[in-house]
Every structure is written in structure tokens, then in C-alpha cells.
Structure 1
């Protein structure tokens, strides 16, 4: 079994010696869940509409986002002839989906946000600035979840501030582990957290250790850094509706192990979402949610097993984003004593195995993020009721590397989703639309008709839709418009492997710069205008300016038919 370096073992041994003499020593850990009084409202509910907290946030955020969108449109209208200016009787409800790809997607996605954020002027001014302020939801999976969490968990600092104050020193040349001078201190802190969690009756796994390492790199050490997902709503930016509402996705495993000993995670696996108010699933036959703040509370049929005693702080932000990116189930069977992988990723996994081995011998269950099942014995969710624990893994592991599923639910009433796809589908490590297509297939099989048709990946690659922005759903106002921004090389070869965890400071800078170019379409001067055409497709009763005709001919797929759209739209725009 992989072992920790001697200095780290010494520190960990010291921790356990102290703990044996003084059990309250573990109270130094802010990671362990704690007992708390239960709320006066039910802990679980059937997913009939959104919860009150999310609805309240939507209402407050819409006031902010509508104002920001009008400012965005007013800037575009300046100097244009009257027949080419935009109106905005209604403003669209917009979401941003940041896809997976570990560090590649974190940094490329940060560049996209940098380009859209009115507060972030480090890269100059462009006509897209302010669009991030007009976005209602920001969903992330895997490395995209790291981005969503880093933005929200660091008091909504800009991407440039995160780079300058945290990432520029924590990411370069560190093998995604704390730099050598701080490694002992970091390991001791993570080991303390794992021990405190187990002392409180919860099993720690490789995912807990992974979350600890991620937190060292993604979050600042300032007191304002938020510790829990539910705690975000009390932070200064979310409490004043100044930032998009964050959603993180993961997949549930049924522990279906094949003959090789591998977990059969696929596109049939259950999709879960985590957000500050609730955690649960929209999947047909389940559709159930619980309060995120009280995750970890042992329940039976929705009632706490201990009378009026609930748990809090289980929803540690590092743990949640580690669940969303935890692909350890690919070990197959039990965790190996010596790692099967080499390079950056292999070294990191060896370190995690060593940390976990301090407390117990790793087993099959250490490959998952383990959450006490809040739907245990729940009559409202018979498919989940038999399970005492949920075993959760990387939300992209089933082939949906973009977190679209929460955003296409009709309860969220979205008009547009801007998709930043950082998948490595092609032989040269760039996206080919596989994730979009897989989500469209899932939606069709589930009877969900809010997502526009998506071509098969081979067609996407053949006609180059994966190498430029594309609008899907242009001619069908019964579906959400998807504005697709795939990763591609502009100023830097951004097809870096997900398994590469060693980035030089220059690489970090260049990846963010390339993501900025993805958002601005290579600083195409006509792109902001065309993007506004796509954003307004579903609102204002189709009243778009004449100039949108050329934009829709260039960016819409399919390009040749109004479909269900009223014929006057195609006549008006000359499509």
C-alpha cells in the first residue's frame, strides 16, 4: 500500500497522539459534520416545481440580470441604424454551463467568464462585458464545477483576481499537490479532517482526500472563503443576488460491477444536482430533493432517525466539487495497493491512497463520494428507498461532459444556455459535440422536449460545428436555444490532457487567454451582435433587427428550415 512520506507520517502520528489524549482536539477541524437542531419544515420533498429558496433567488437575481442585459444591449445599439438596433420588451433567462476536463476546463472556463464579466477589466474592454451579470444560473461538472465553486466560494472574485491571488501560486509546477514546503502541513490538515469525519460516524474515502487537495488550490485562506455549499447563500454576493446561482452535478452508482470488476457507469446512471438550497434528482421515476444544509442527516421515510437531531456541514464545498470530479471508480474492484497510473495523475492518486490508508485499508467503497441516503425508505422515491447510502461519482463519467440536464428542466424556465464544452472527444483532444448529443438522447428517452435537436458527433466534426460557435434551436421556439462555445486553439494549444496536473505559470496564463478567445470568437468584431441575436431568439415575439439575418445564416444549425418556427420569422430575417 502506498505510504505517506516520513515527515507527513510523523505529523499525522502526532495528530493521533494528541487526539488520544484530548478528543476535543478534533474540534480544530471545520470539515466534520456536526449535530444541529432540525428545521421546522420537511427535509425532503417531491420535485413539483422549484423550492421556495431557489424561487426567491430567481426573483431577486432577475432584477439584477435584466438591468445588466439592457446595459449590454444598449452598448451594442450605439451608432447602429434604426433597423439594426435591438429592442428588449422582454429579456431572456440565461444560463452558463461549464463542462468538464479537470484543470483544462477550469482554466479555459475561467477565460470565458473573464471575457463576459463587467468587473474584470484585466484583459481590456470588449462588447461582451456585462453578459455574465445577465446570467441567472451557472452550472458546472468536474473541472467546470471547480470553476463554479471557486467563483462562488471565494466571495465571487473575478477570474483574474483568482488567478493573481490564488491560482498563480497554487497551480504551477505543483503536481496539483501542495508545494513541497507546505506539503506536510497540508497532509496533516487533510488527515485531521478525515479523522474528525470518521469520529463523527461518517466514512471518509478517496473523494474526501481529493476534496482536501482541491480546496488547497482553489480557495483562498481568507476568512470570507465559504466552507459549505449551503453557506454560499449567506455570503455577500449571493445574499444580494449579485452572482449567478451555482449548480454542481454528479452521477449515482448502483454498484453494478462487471466481470472485470469495473463499475458500469453510463448514460443511464442517475443524474444528481447540488445547489445551495437543495440536492436531488429530476430523473423520471425519482424526482426528489432534500435540503442541502442538512445533508448527512440519517433519515427514514423523510424523518430523522434521532428525534429532532439533524446534521450540518456535511456539504463541505471541497467535498461536493470532489464528488463531481471523482473518477476513482475506474480503478475497478478495490483500490490498488500500488497505483496503476503513472505521471501527474498517478502521483496524485498514490498520495490520496496514502492519506486514506492512515485511517483504514481502502476498499471498493473508497472509490465513491458516500452520502447517507436522504431518501432511504421514502415512499415518494421507491427506486432510491432501499439504499442506505448514495455512492456518487464524476458527473461527466456517463458521457455527458456538460451539465445541461439541470438547465433543460422545464421548471427552470430558461430561454438560453451558453455551453462551454471542454471535452476531449477527438483524436487531437478537442470536443466533437458528444456530450450535447448524449444529453439530447437522454432527454428524448425521458420525454423531455425542451432541448433542441443535436446532430451526431460525426456530423458535428464533418461540418465543423465543433470548431466555431453554433446556435441550436433557432427555428423552434418550443425549445431552449443552445449557444455552443467549444474549446479550440486560438492563441494556445488548449487540448491539454485531463490527466496533466502540472502547469507552468505561462501555461495557466495562456489557457485562460485562450478561453477568453473562445468566448469572443477570436475577437470577431461582429460576434457580440450575432450573439445578441441568438440570445433574443425566444423573446420579444421574434422581433429581431434586420441585421440578424446574416448572423442566423452563419451560426444556426440546421441552416435550411424554419421548422416549427412561424414562417414570417424566416421572411423577416431573409433566412
Structure 2
């Protein structure tokens, strides 16, 4: 049980960052009389900048070790020496897609392949690259992975494997999340009673709640099993006080959610995309371009100044609630209802119920008071709907079609050179990924929200399928000289899709329980999917990944790549070819509200023009909806129905 000591010490060190009520309910705290809670997103926050200096010291050494090992058999590895001598160290980021427990479990296998704490990862995988990464972004199920590892004192997947079968095992989802006791009805009832009491305590403290609070509380029990009641007082900002993060010993975690006004069901590429990091919550998008201190969410403020001088609110940034915000899957269930194996009778009942919830705004995570209310430096008419609203409404980060959280990582200020995109999306009707997230982010840069972002050229859905680009790792944006038509040189994208190696890992997004054996098989297949089957399909793949990591810095410094990289790029870089045949598989119905797929087959440049044209025609920003909220006197009934729904989904 010695492994529990770090978690216990973490709790002791971070006690000041927990909810002041020691419960799910936020509470009042003192803050500086002149505190300013909102800043313009004109660059990185001072806190992030200071943290990067600490992290860079770790990544410099870790990346050097990884690259030295990966290029050991190269005929010439002097490039690494040259870059390190010039202090031009590549900056690495990783992005984990949404996709429910499929994304979490398959993604866990993937991240373990990059982690030198995983047995065999150095010999058979990409071990050490995680230690050299600066940023980790997660969305929905991918955020369950990133969030639960980071907020459990940066634990490892190997540790999860080693502690299987224990009462406090991380990710023990043998039973459905909404039927946690299995056949023990009393145990399930007790869990849901605790959840209901916690959410009602937040209501009683004067804060609006929704089904997202219930969802987040339910998730937390499986993500923080060592904490009482799933860490009902554990806050997102707690991480900034944990030594493992404070000292820069782990990557910078980012969670992504979409803005959505109640009364609307479509979220498209014009929606405002929000990020949560240990220091801040906000958006880089021109529709807001502002951030607020995540620790003091819930504070009644105007233009970033608390209405009551010297008094703020803390505890609103509950870790489970933030993780739940990025994964309001009940709304996703509505959008993809026809893809599930629920009976037509249950579909009708559930569909009608969820439509009612959408009309009543209960599928939206409510951030009230709105931290950006009356922010004066936000001047765009496009934005006034946010700053004029008393409430901020956030939903699942994948609802705009960008199911891989690229946007926070392609901000020019973060200076990322390469992004490893771990895709466990269900783009096809068989629940396999097929590049739709890349297409969406590529298109975003040509729309109203893409003013200051750049993303490499990518092909259309048919090409992803017909050319097998969703069957193995593929590099996009290999040559910076071919991206001169974009706002700036974007990071190189190493796309790593979920694919079958040793197990059919294309499980339903709404499969809500996995046995221990199934979890292990998902881990294993994820590891194999990103390592070319433990490097057996291509023994040089580790070296090719090293070439991708070095590429942007090599180009910017006009240095010479090892000759082995030429073959790597020939094998793994997308060659710009566009298929002129319709793929034999189809996308999931209602995957996104308004994606316009690239269809021109002439060339990558033609694809760019088509995407630009289609993006400029995407639906306009949402009209402001009335900010009236539903009454909260039926919470326990919602919880009861959620239990019924979960049991139904758990049978799939």
C-alpha cells in the first residue's frame, strides 16, 4: 500500500486548493482588493510562461535521451548535437480524442507506449517521448484519460495495470457508471444518493446546476477512487500546488469544451472553443479572446472585478465537473442515437426525454456567474452574446466535429513543433476513426474563428479510407515550404488512429462497462496501434518518429536531416494525393452539425481552396438565446432516469 503515500501527501499539500466547504459546494474566500480575474489572450499567461521554464529543463534532457536512442543506428546523428548546441529544442505536444471509454482505454494503451515507466516501452515502443512532451490535451473520453492520470499525482498506466483487482483500482468500470454496484442494488443506490446530495448542496449554495454536474460526479468515483466520495471537494486548480506539476516534472494538461447557447442543438466550427488548464479557463478564439483564473470560477464579477470587494468564490472548479464539462455525452447520445443498439422502443423514450432536456438546457454545463460578464476589452459584435450573458454554457468538446483537441496546441504563442494526434473517434459506422477531426480543424482556420491559427493540408474522408490513412500512423505537414499559404507554419501532425492489431477496439462510444480482461486488451491494442505492432511491422518506426520530432527545428535552422529520414518521410508522410472514388464505408449519421467535407480530387492545393470556400459558408454564429434556466426541483428524478438509462446502455 506504499503507492498510496504520494496521493496522501498530494492531498495534504493541496488542501488549500480544495473547496473551502470541503464538499462539492463552492464557498466564499478572501481575495486581494485589487484582484483582476480576467485577462486578454494576447499571449501566454505569466504563470504558464514561468512553468515552461521549469518544464523545458526536463524535456531538454528527456528528448535528448529519446532521440539519441531512436537515432542510434542512423548513419549521421549530428543534427541532435547541433540543435541542442544552438538551444533549439523541439516542443512536443500530444492530443487525445474523445470517444467515451473506448477513447480512454485505447488512449491509455497509446500513452503507455510513449511512457518510459511502461514495461517494455523502450524496447518495443516509443518510451521516453512522453517524458519529453510539453503539452497534453484531452477532450471528452480523451480528457478522462489525461485528467485522471494528471490529477492522480501523474500516475502511469503501468501502475494501473499493476494494481488491478484492488478496491481502489483506477478505471475499474466493470459495472456501468450509472449502475456502479452491479447486482448490489443497495450499493448503487448509496452511490447515487451521495451524488444527489452533493449536487443539491451546490444548488443550496446558490449555484445553478444541470445534468452535467450529475455526470461529472458519477465519473469522478472511477477516476479518483482513493479520495472520499470521488473527491467531491477536489478542485482543478489543486494541480498547480502539486509538486509533480509545480516543478515541471509532468506535461501541461489541457481540457477542451465547446460553447453553446441553450435552445440550440447544433455546434459547428463557428462555436467558441474553450480550454481549461491548471491556471486558467477561457478561449483564444476571436469571439472571446480572454481567460480567467480557473481557481475563482463562480465569483460574481463584472469586467473581471468581484462585485464584492475582496471576496471571491473557490471550489466551483471541481475536478469531476470540469472533466464532465468536456464530456456531456448525454447530448452526444442524442446526436448519435441511431448508431446504438438500444431497442427502438427505448430509443423513442430516451430520445424524447433528451430532447426535453436540451430544450430545458439540462444537457449543458452551466458556469454561473459568467466569469466574462461585461468584459470591456471584448469589442467584437460577434462576441457580445458571451459577455452580455449572465451564464456561460459549455458542452462536450467534440460537438463541433473537432474530436481531437488541436486548437489549444496550434496557438502560435505555444510554439509547438509536432503534435501526436491519438485518434479514437468513431468516424465510420463501424466506430473506427477516419480523419474527420483533422478535416474539421483544417477547415476551421478558414472560418470566422480561425483568424490566428494554422493547420496543415489534409485529404478528405474518401481519401482517408481509400488510401488506408486510418490504418497506420501518417504524418501531415512534413514540408514547411508547402504550408506558405497558411497564416504561419503549423506544427507537423503525427496522426495515430485506433486500428485493429490484437483486439477489436472499435467498441461503441456508449459502451459503459468493461471487464478487467477487456480493459487489458484495449490497453494492449492501443500500445500496438501506435508502435506498428511493437515495432515488428517496421523496426525503423522509432527512428521515423524521431525524424518527425526534429523536422520543424531542422527546417527553421536550415540544417541537414539524417539520410534515413528521407525514407521515413516517403513511407509516412501524406503525399498530397486525393482519391476520386467514394469510400465503401460511411460516416456515423449526425456526426457533426455542419461539417463540409473536401471533395475536390485535383491536389492538396485544390483541397485547400475547396475547404476555404466551404468554411466561409459555414453557419453563422448562434443568436443569443433567452438566458432563462430550468427549475432544479427534479434533480433526483433525473438521477433516477440516468440510472435506468445507464443500465440500458450497459447492456450493449
TM-score range, shorter chain: 0.7 to 0.9
Aligned to 1:229: 236
Matched, 1:370 2:387: no
Q: 1:143 aligns with which of 131, 141, 144?
A: 141
Contact residue 77 and residue 86 of structure 1 kept, 8 A? no
* Superposed displacement of residue 31, structure 1: 1.2
* Superposed displacement of residue 284, structure 1: 1.4
Question: For 2:420, what is the secondary structure of its paired residue?
Answer: strand
Q: 1:209 aligns with which of 211, 214, 219?
A: 214
Matched, 1:454 2:447: no
Q: 1:44 aligns with which of 28, 38, 48?
A: 38
Aligned to 1:494: 505
* Superposed displacement of residue 341, structure 1: 9.1
Matched, 1:238 2:240: no
Contact residue 402 and residue 435 of structure 1 kept, 8 A? yes
Alignment of 1:134-533 (within 5 A): 134-165=132-163, 166-167=168-169, 170-175=172-177, 177-180=179-182, 181=184, 182-222=187-227, 227-257=234-264, 263-329=265-331, 342=342, 364-372=360-368, 373-382=370-379, 383=383, 384-445=386-447, 446-476=450-480, 478-524=489-535, 525-533=539-547
Contact residue 116 and residue 131 of structure 1 kept, 8 A? yes
Say if 1:451 and 1:218 are closer, same or farther in 2 by CA, change over 3 A. same
TM-score by length of 2: 0.74
* Superposed displacement of residue 522, structure 1: 1.3
* Superposed displacement of residue 235, structure 1: 1.1
TM-score by length of 1: 0.84
Contact residue 97 and residue 420 of structure 1 kept, 8 A? yes
Give per-residue Cα distances to partners, 1:371-424, cap 9 Å, x unaligned: 021111222225221110011110001111000011111111111110001111
Aligned to 2:639: none
Give per-residue Cα distances to partners, 1:59-93, cap 9 Å, x unaligned: 11111011100011122243543469854433210
CA distance in 2 between counterparts of 1:168 and 1:247 reads 20
Contact residue 29 and residue 311 of structure 2 kept, 8 A? yes
Aligned to 2:597: none
Q: Give structure 1 stretches of 5+ with no counterpart.
A: 1-25, 258-262, 334-339, 355-360, 564-575
CA distance in 2 between counterparts of 1:103 and 1:496 reads 9
Say if 1:35 and 1:341 are closer, same or farther in 2 by CA, change over 3 A. farther
Contact residue 79 and residue 560 of structure 2 kept, 8 A? no
* Superposed displacement of residue 266, structure 1: 2.1
Alignment of 1:14-25 (within 5 A): none
Q: 2:93 aligns with which of 92, 95, 99?
A: 95
Aligned to 2:561: 544
Say if 1:412 and 1:277 are closer, same or farther in 2 by CA, change over 3 A. same
Question: For 1:280, what is the secondary structure of its paired residue?
Answer: strand
Say if 1:78 and 1:390 are closer, same or farther in 2 by CA, change over 3 A. same
Q: Give structure 2 stretches of 5+ with no counterpart.
A: 1-18, 482-488, 578-602, 606-652
